[in-house]
């Protein structure tokens, strides 16, 4: 059975694309068949696997318009077991016209339902830093939303907004959606990072991945070489941490397969009231 995962956060630059690429690479390395879907007009995921987004004739836009399927638009990448549905700037225009079409939010969900069983173990969708038609399609199709978050003041503030959106999607288009938070770019030497990590563990104990992704410059380099970090720099801390995340995710979503780290169950979605109560620690709070 294919597990569909959306990687999304309204906040920009929190490692959504890096997580899709590195997690996808790790899952493929562990023998899973993975389809990455780029839903961002910036085309960063597409470019990070060595393709020029603007030279593409067929993209995820064709799927959203109902003119093609994810499988038909997908292409192989340099990594075995890892395929990609690319995106480019045309999604900006599509975002403006798509919402006028009835049922647009279910396009990806419907296509995934028609996908041949067993073709992929995981579909990972990289969302843009906005709550538009692309993100709504991804959240409507997803079993699990992964929310990458930095341990910084503004990131925690925007989490409140993100959780309200999750609550809305669950009410309107996808009642089965669950979510998990992933701490990214963590710097243990940074006092605010440690403080906010403490807050997140207390507030989201069951909905926080145990795996933490620390700051590692190799993650900035790997897209320039068109590879996930697990192939570009396989022995680095970043590669090991994304492998651990892949194991934790597999254990969480495919519990029949024994894994080293068995994660706790996902937290049910917040009500609007509980989402509204997610407030960051006040500035200047002592550890």
Chain contacts with ligand ATP (rule: CB under 6 A): 12-18, 40, 44, 129, 184-185, 213, 215-217, 219-220
Residue 207 CA: distances (Å) to CA of 15, 179, 181: 18, 7, 6
In this chain, which of 3, 5, 9, 17 binds Mg ion, going by CB under 5 A? 17
> Distances in Å between the alpha carbon of 171 and those of 108, 139, 164, 174?
18, 12, 11, 7
Nearer to Mg ion, 48 or 241 (CB): 48
Least CB distance from residue 80 to ligand ATP, whole Å?
Answer: 23
Q: Which residue is nearest to Mg ion (CB)?
A: 17
Q: CA 281, CA 152: separation in Å to the nearest integer?
A: 10
Q: 8 or 269, CB closer to Mg ion? A: 8
Q: Are 193 and 155 in contact (CB under 8 A)?
A: no
Task: Pull the structure tokens for residue 36.
Answer: 């990455």
Q: Where are the alpha helices (DSSP H) in the chain?
A: 16-29, 44-48, 60-64, 70-73, 90-98, 107-114, 133-141, 153-172, 191-203, 218-221, 229-232, 237-253, 272-276
Q: Which does 165 bind (CB under 5 to 8 A by kind): Mg ion, ligand ATP, none?
A: none
CB of 66 to ligand ATP, least distance (A): 26
Q: Which option in Mg ion, ligand ATP, none does residue 108 bind, with CB closer than 5 to 8 A by kind?
A: none
Query: Which CB sits closer to ligand ATP, 13 or 50?
Result: 13
44 near Mg ion (CB under 5 A): yes
Number of residues that bind Mg ion (CB under 5 A): 3
Residue 220's binding partner out of Mg ion, ligand ATP, none, with CB under 5 to 8 Å set by partner kind = ligand ATP
How far apart CA 56 and CA 58 sit, in angstroms, is: 6
Chosen from ligand ATP, Mg ion, none, partner binding at 200 (C-beta under 5 to 8 Å by type)? none
Min dist CB 206 to ligand ATP, Å, is 24
Q: Which is nearer to Mg ion, 181 or 275 (CB)?
A: 181
Min dist. Cβ of residue 126 to Mg ion (A): 6
Nearest to 248 by CA among 237, 262, 238: 262
Q: Report the C-alpha gap between 145 and 139 in whole angstroms.
A: 7
Residue 124, binding choice from Mg ion, ligand ATP, none, Cβ under 5 to 8 Å by partner class: none
| Closest separation in Å from C-beta 124 to Mg ion | 12
Q: Round to whole Å and give the CA distance between 151 and 77.
A: 32
For residue 199 the two structure tokens come to 């807050």
Interaction partner, residue 18 (Mg ion, ligand ATP, none; CB < 5-8 Å by kind): ligand ATP
Question: Closer to ligand ATP at the Cβ: 151 or 219?
Answer: 219
Residue nearer to Mg ion on the CB measure, 17 or 140? 17
List the strands of the sheet with 34-38, edge to edge: 75-76, 82-85, 34-38, 122-126, 3-7, 144-150, 178-184
Output 41 or 81, the one with its CB closest to Mg ion. 41
Query: Using CB under 5 A as the criterion, which residues of the chain lie in contact with Mg ion when the complex forms?
Result: 16-17, 44
């Amino acid at each position: 059975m294919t597990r569909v995962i959306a990687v999304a956060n309204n906040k920009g630059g929190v490692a959504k694309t890096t997580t899709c690429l590195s997690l996808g690479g790790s899952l493929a390395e562990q023998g899973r068949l993975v389809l990455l879907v780029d839903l961002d007009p910036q085309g960063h995921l597409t470019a990070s696997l060595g393709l020029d987004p603007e030279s593409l004739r067929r993209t995820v836009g064709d799927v959203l318009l109902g003119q093609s399927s994810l499988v038909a638009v997908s292409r192989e990448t340099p990594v075995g077991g890892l395929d990609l549905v690319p995106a480019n700037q045309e999604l900006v225009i599509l975002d403006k016209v798509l919402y006028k079409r009835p049922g647009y939010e279910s396009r990806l969900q419907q296509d995934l339902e028609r996908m041949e069983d067993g073709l992929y173990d995981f579909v990972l969708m990289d969302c843009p830093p906005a709550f538009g038609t692309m993100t709504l399609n991804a959240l409507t199709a997803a079993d699990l939303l992964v929310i990458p978050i930095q341990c910084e003041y503004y990131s925690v503030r925007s989490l409140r907004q993100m959780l309200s959106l999750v609550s809305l999607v669950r009410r309107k288009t996808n009642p089965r959606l669950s979510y998990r938070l992933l701490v990214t770019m963590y710097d243990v030497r940074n006092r605010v990072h440690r403080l906010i990590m403490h807050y997140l563990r207390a507030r989201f104990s069951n909905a926080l991945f145990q795996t933490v992704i620390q700051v590692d410059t190799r993650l900035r380099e790997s897209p320039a070489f068109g590879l996930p970090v697990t192939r570009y720099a396989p022995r680095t801390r970043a590669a090991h941490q994304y492998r651990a995340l892949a194991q934790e995710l597999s254990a969480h979503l495919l519990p029949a397969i024994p894994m080293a780290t068995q994660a706790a169950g996902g937290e049910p979605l917040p009500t609007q009231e509980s989402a509204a109560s997610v407030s960051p620690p006040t500035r200047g709070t002592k550890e």
